[in-house]
Amino acid sequence: MIKRLLLALASASVLLINTGHAEESPDTDLVLLTENFPPYNMAKNGKNFAQDENINGIATDIVREMFKRAGITYSLTLRFPWERVYKLALENPGYGAFVMARLPDREKLFKWVGPIGPDDWVMLAKADSKITLETLNDARKYKIGAYKGDAIAETLTKQGLKPVVVLRDQDNAKKLVSGQIDLWATGDPAGRYLARQDGVTGLKTVLRFNSAELYLALNRDVPDEAVAKLQAALDQMRKDGVVDEIMGRYL
């Protein structure tokens, strides 16, 4: 009886160990993570969790074709919030996250494939706003909304602008219209796309303060050979006009 009990406990332990490592050791080369960041990545059902074919968007379609051409297998999961996605990609071998702005302080933290698309940084205001800005410094006297964990919010914070952050960037569109914030610091075209999804139109750009490029960021332990294959595939897609074709589906 005791022997059978010990065997059962041993089997249960093995099952728990295997289950615990299921996500960490998938039957794929890489584990890719993303977030809801329309029009680049988004869950088809609009929720904050989706997997594989239930995710679409400009970057998602580009990444799928890129991995297909490179002959590298992957799993794809959309999660929330972005801070968690970033941390998982940073700390776990075989993981990657997209789309991510390639900033100087992130350069050595990841291996990069891209650029996948542009992400200009803008300050948006209501259509009837009297706010005019010449430089980012001019925005200090206003209440600025931004997206928590995003590169834009991080940059504004480092420069002492103290943005009011939210967990979903699209919430800033309605906060702007309702007067809870004076300016919305966001990406273009992402911000306008999000605003339209929530029925907010007519916002105007009062400052364009940075131009960034968005990338696939891979954990430092991902083999250089895999990174090179993916970059070569993306470069060829751009030459073939495939990247422009994919962008045209959404914009």
pTM for the full predicted model: 0.69
**80-116 tens-digit pLDDT:** 999 999 999 999 999 999 999 998 999 999 999 999 9
What are 96's strand-pairing partners? Answer: 32, 218
pLDDT at residue number 250: 82
pLDDT at residue number 73: 97
Amino acid letter, residue 63: V
What residues have CB less than 8 Å from 44, skipping those under 6 apart?
50, 54, 55, 56
pLDDT higher than threshold 60 for residue 7: no
pLDDT at residue number 13: 39
Q: Residue 176's closest CA among 143, 218, 219, 224?
A: 143
pLDDT higher than threshold 70 for residue 9: no
- Least confident segment among 16-25, 102-111, 123-132, 189-198: 16-25
The mean of the pLDDT values for the chain is 89
pLDDT: is 151 or 124 the higher one?
A: 124
pLDDT higher than threshold 50 for residue 10: no
Q: Model confidence at 72, in pLDDT bands (50, 70, 90)? A: very high
pLDDT at residue number 46: 87
